[in-house]
Amino acid sequence: MNKYLRSILIATLTLIIIVIINFFLPRMLPGDPVYHLTGISEDFISPDLYNFYYEKLGLNLPMHEQFGLYLKSLFDGTLGYSYIHEETVFTLIFSTIGNTLKIIIPSVLIVSILAIIFGLRNAFKEEGNKKTIFSYVTILFNTVPSFLIGMILLILFSFVLGWFPDNGLNSPGATGGSAFFDELWHLLLPITTMVLAMFPSKYLLVKENSKKILKEKYVLFARTSGLNKLQIAYHYLLKNSFHTVFTSIAMSLAFGIAGSVVIENIFSINGMGLLFSSALNKQDFPLLQGMLFFVSLVSVITLIVSDLLILIIDPKTRRKQNA
């Protein structure tokens, strides 16, 4: 249990550090703190409004009272208020997260399944330090930036060939049952981009781990006993590399939001990534801070849950804890 408690502690510590950074950053920087806290620059604000905000944001209070107010604002469910969008951060995130999840969740599922299947299969093929063409192509694919993949797919399939649409998630006029298929049609290119961007690293991870396990003596014994490749792949390779593979899948869920910033920008999909991008362009600091907190919270929760699941599923980690 020791290691698991330690990882929970580190996760909480991460969150605390993010909260502290979020608090001190706008107040400590040179420049106008009202600007840093609201995003409204001095030219657009009248002196009365400025003083109003100054008091409302509590900038004349001592530091520890300000911190108390800030912590309270985190827990009352609004995650801050965006003055430029004129909505609470929570409402903004909540309204856009659905579209982002529609891209991330299918991508992670597809990538996991494909990476496991191809990784295990190629681990057998590459036993004698040979490299398959598939691996080589995948490694080269690893070097292509994700936005380039998105752009190439967009240009090729949307502009040149016209097979797929190039923006948004719905075409006007699609209602009822056909709206579902229409949305699927719109989602295909972004999901393909994300899959192509995430696949190489997962595949290489599974393959390298499996190759190491294949060299063990107990696998040799299993093969000479007559187990076929499928049984070895499942019982030995997958179950032994479960820890690493599962952790990386969990991490990719959390880091998928970062990837979606770029992809939603390219495909003009109204999700969290585009919200983040527009917050950057409009210098909407409260929204940026709220989203940083939210994404870190998601990452921390994913880490804790995934560690718990690994502890439940994998008996080896349970025994290592108590050892």
Partner 1 sequence: MRKANTFTYYLGIIILLMFALWAIFPSSFAPYELKESFTPWQGMSMSHIFGTNDMGYDIFTEIVYATRDTLIISISSAFLTMLLAILFANLSLVKKFGIGLIFDTLINVLLNIPKLIAILVLISFLPRTRINIILLISFFSFASEAKILKNKIINIANQTFIEQNILYGFNRTYIALHSYLPNLKNTLVVRLLSVLSKTIMMESTLSFLGMGDLYYPSWGTMINFAYQRGAFLMNAYYYLLAPGFMIMLFCISFYFVSERFEKGS
Point out which residues bind partner 1 (CB under 8 A).
7, 10-11, 13-14, 17-18, 25-26, 29, 36, 130-131, 139-140, 142-148, 151-152, 155, 159, 254-255, 257-258, 261-262, 265, 276-277, 280-281, 283, 285, 288-289, 291-292, 295-296, 299-300, 303
In the complex, the smallest distance separating the C-beta of residue 232 from partner 1, rounded to whole angstroms, is: 26
Q: Quick one: 192 or 227, whose CB is closer to partner 1?
A: 192
Q: In whole angstroms, how close is the CB of 177 to partner 1 at the nearest point?
A: 32
Q: What is d(CA 236, CA 62) in angstroms, rounded to the nearest whole number? A: 60
Secondary structure (3-state) at 61: coil
Contact 107, 191 (CB under 8 A): yes
Amino acid at 142: N
Considering beta carbons, is residue 110 or 148 the nearer one to partner 1? 148
The residues near 277 (Cβ < 8 Å, ≥ 6 apart) are 261, 264, 265
The residue (of 201 and 223) whose beta carbon lies closer to partner 1 is 201
Bridging pattern class, strands 87-88 and 81-82: antiparallel
Q: Going along 24-153, which residue ranges are E strands?
A: 81-82, 87-88
Q: Which residues contact 279 (CB under 8 A, 6 or more apart)?
A: 82, 287, 288, 291
- Nearest approach, Cβ of residue 131 and partner 1 (Å): 7
- In the bound state with partner 1, the residue whose beta carbon lies nearer, of 149 and 233, is 149
Whichever of 236 and 267 has its CB closer to partner 1, that residue is: 267
C-alpha span between 236 and 197 (Å, rounded)? 28
| Closest distance to partner 1 from the beta carbon of 264 (Å) | 11
Minimum distance between the CB of residue 224 and partner 1, rounded to whole angstroms? 29
